[in-house]
Amino acid sequence: MRVAGLVKRYPDRSAVDGVDLDIPRGECFGLLGPNGAGKTTTLRLLLGLTTPSLGTITVLGYPIPREARLARRRIGVVPQSDNLDPDFSVVENLTVYARYFGLSPREIDSRIASLLDFAQLTDRAKTNLRELSGGTKRRLTLIRALIHDPELIILDEPTTGLDPHARQHLWDRLGSLRAAGRTLILTTHYMEEAERLCDRVAILDQGKIRALGAPRELVERALPRFVLEIREPVDEGLSLDPACYRLERVGALTLIYAAQREPLADLVDRLHLTRYIERPTNLEDCFLKLTGRELRE
């Protein structure tokens, strides 16, 4: 999958504003970014569901949007909001979708049986959609995307709204797809999810890529290794050795970064802190730093 110079303009803004990406086969790639960053628009461009204003797109060797219909036969899609048919049962939803890909009735039956098993949904096969919880519908949307055994799977916020069990289950299933050599491109607002699943991530903001690389690499590039989060007032006049500490104030929260743990422990003693957390920096810190801390949209 390769895009170069990708731009999507709407009358009042550019949703995607000069994106270059090269995602090799077999990679699990995460597209991160605040609300309105352009993640869904980028995925829709890859699928040929909307046409670019500028730039070139190649997916599985097909030029997009020109040969998008051919490409889509080899791509599985989990959209941001479920678009299952509420009047049908689980199996009926899968069957209708499978027919669209021209599978034979025998192939359809065996694919559905193995996918229901994969998602632990076998006992819900005949259940009507209206009786399913949001998490179960999300699992169904995932296996529906896999019905034609696609090489590339595009997932727009696959775990939003799921409880911790359902999320773990989905992570496990995505892990096994990755182990089976499938290419995964997903968006998520859960930084822990991106750190666990993705080989590389891009942080998108206002249609532009702000950072690209392995999650650990991005964190190391953006921030020192450790942070002290202080949840009590800290003297405004506090002076810290800039060679050792980096200080940031976010509302009532004070963040102090350092490359080692010891200087942070010293500070806890020196300031007699009682309400604090000392921890390694993570992708969420990096995300907040790169995209600013103000709300978007």
Binding site for ligand ATP (CB under 6 A): 10, 13, 15, 33, 35-41, 80
What is the DSSP annotation of 194-234? Answer: HHHH-SEEEEEETTEEEEEE-HHHHHHHHS-SEEEEE-S--
As a residue count, the chain comes to 297
The residue (of 89 and 206) whose beta carbon lies closer to ligand ATP is 206
The residue (of 40 and 254) whose beta carbon lies closer to Mg ion is 40
- In the complex, what is the shortest distance from the CB of residue 296 to ligand ATP, in angstroms, rounded to a whole number? 8
The residue (of 38 and 215) whose beta carbon lies closer to ligand ATP is 38
Phi, psi of 272 (to 5 degrees): 50, 50
Question: Pick from 278, 266, 263, 159: which is nearest to 227 by CA?
Answer: 278
- In the complex, what is the shortest distance from the CB of residue 284 to ligand ATP, in angstroms, rounded to a whole number? 15
Question: Pick from 13, 3, 99: which is nearest to 43 by CA?
Answer: 3
The residue (of 80 and 89) whose beta carbon lies closer to ligand ATP is 80
Element (H, E) at 109: helix 105-118
> Of the listed pieces 33-41, 231-239, 245-253, 256-264, which binds Mg ion according to CB under 5 A?
33-41
Structure token pair of residue 200: 């590389």
Question: Pick from 155, 139, 158: which is nearest to 93 by CA?
Answer: 139
Question: Which residues partner with 211 through β-bridges?
Answer: 203
Q: Do 153 and 146 touch, CB atoms closer than 8 A?
A: yes
Structure token pair of residue 93: 């939803």
Count of residues of this chain found to bind Mg ion when the rule CB under 5 A is applied? 3
Among 6, 16, 19, 40, binds Mg ion (CB under 5 A): 40
- In the complex, what is the shortest distance from the CB of residue 234 to Mg ion, in angstroms, rounded to a whole number? 37
159 part of the interface to Mg ion, by CB under 5 A = no
The residue (of 12 and 123) whose beta carbon lies closer to ligand ATP is 12
- In the complex, what is the shortest distance from the CB of residue 80 to ligand ATP, in angstroms, rounded to a whole number? 6
Residues at the contact surface with Mg ion, assessed by CB under 5 A: 39-40, 80
